[in-house]
């Protein structure tokens, strides 16, 4: 794995950890979910744990599809503990803006979460929402 690719993965995980920390309470279920994501991304447990103490800059992906995937990860992390706080909602809205995603689309995703089991919006629905708000 290239150094740049690894740095991007660590930046993505740092962003997800910041969201989990937004409510000042990282629960075991959140930690384990994040650890599983790290593992899927090829990041070792040791590297992952270091991310709680160090800052790795998150650079939004160039492709809109990849930014939407990252937004979806944020939504999953926010909902994994079944306790969504205002701080988490604020964080995720700001993250969407920082990634250059349409705020109307991100707000619509957050509005429809309750319609789906465990607040997991199916990928096709998520993509259709973003597509419907595309300029």
CATH number of the domain where residue 24 is located: 1.10.3680
Task: Write out pLDDT tens, residues 55-80.
Answer: 888 888 899 999 999 999 999 999 88
Query: In the predicted model, is pLDDT for residue 49 greater than 90?
Result: yes
Question: pTM for this structure?
Answer: 0.84
Q: How many CB atoms lie within 10 A of CB 5?
A: 11
Q: How many CB atoms lie within 10 A of CB 116?
A: 12
The whole-angstrom separation of Cα 93 and Cα 101 is 10
Confidence of residue 135 (pLDDT cuts 50, 70, 90): low
- What are the b/e assignments for 120-132, b being 16+ CB within 10 Å? ebeeeebeebbee
Range of the domain at 39: 3-132
- Total structural domains in the chain? 1
In the numeric block, which tokens belong to residue 60?
């939004």
């Amino acid at each position: 794995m290239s150094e740049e690719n690894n740095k991007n993965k660590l930046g993505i995980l740092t962003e997800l950890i910041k969201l989990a920390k937004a409510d000042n309470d990282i629960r075991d279920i959140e930690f384990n979910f994040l650890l599983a994501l790290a593992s899927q991304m090829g990041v070792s447990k040791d590297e992952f744990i270091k991310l709680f103490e160090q800052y790795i800059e998150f650079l939004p992906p160039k492709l809109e599809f990849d930014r939407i995937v990252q937004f979806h990860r944020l939504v999953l992390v926010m909902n994994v503990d079944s306790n969504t706080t205002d701080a988490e909602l604020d964080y995720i809205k700001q993250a969407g803006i920082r990634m250059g995603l349409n705020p109307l689309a991100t707000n619509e995703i957050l509005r429809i979460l309750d319609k789906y089991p465990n607040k997991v919006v199916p990928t096709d629905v998520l993509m259709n929402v973003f597509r419907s708000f595309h300029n």
